[in-house]
């Protein structure tokens, strides 16, 4: 009998849980060299604009050895959170 795999609890895992418990709708993001930002959602996230993922789903997303970051879905689902994401310091300096 093979031993059970131990959960991989990364900083992203704990941050995702804390943000979800604080009332934010979160999604996993992953590196994507084909995008200018270098990152992309790891899941189809339209549904999480309406309702946040449950903690079990979040645990499944982030309990991995693959690189994952935490994305926050803005708007009503996250308490009307407005997100302004600057992809470079130069761009942020222009605002």
Distances (CA, A) of 88 to 28, 37, 53, 58, 85: 21, 9, 29, 28, 9
| pLDDT tens for each residue of 5-59 | 555 678 889 999 999 999 999 999 998 878 777 888 999 999 999 999 999 999 9
Residues 65 and 8 sit within 8 Å (Cβ to Cβ) = yes
**Global pTM?**
0.79
Under 8 Å between Cβ of 38 and 30: no
């Amino acid at each position: 009998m093979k031993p059970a795999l131990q959960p991989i609890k990364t900083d992203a895992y704990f941050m995702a849980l804390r943000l979800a418990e604080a009332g934010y709708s979160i999604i996993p993001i992953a590196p994507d060299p084909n995008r200018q930002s270098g990152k992309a959602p790891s899941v189809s996230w339209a549904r999480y604009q309406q309702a946040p993922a449950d903690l079990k789903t979040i645990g499944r997303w982030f309990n991995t050895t693959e690189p994952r970051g935490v994305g926050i879905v803005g708007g009503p689902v996250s308490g009307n959170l407005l997100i302004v994401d600057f992809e470079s310091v130069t761009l942020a300096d222009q605002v």
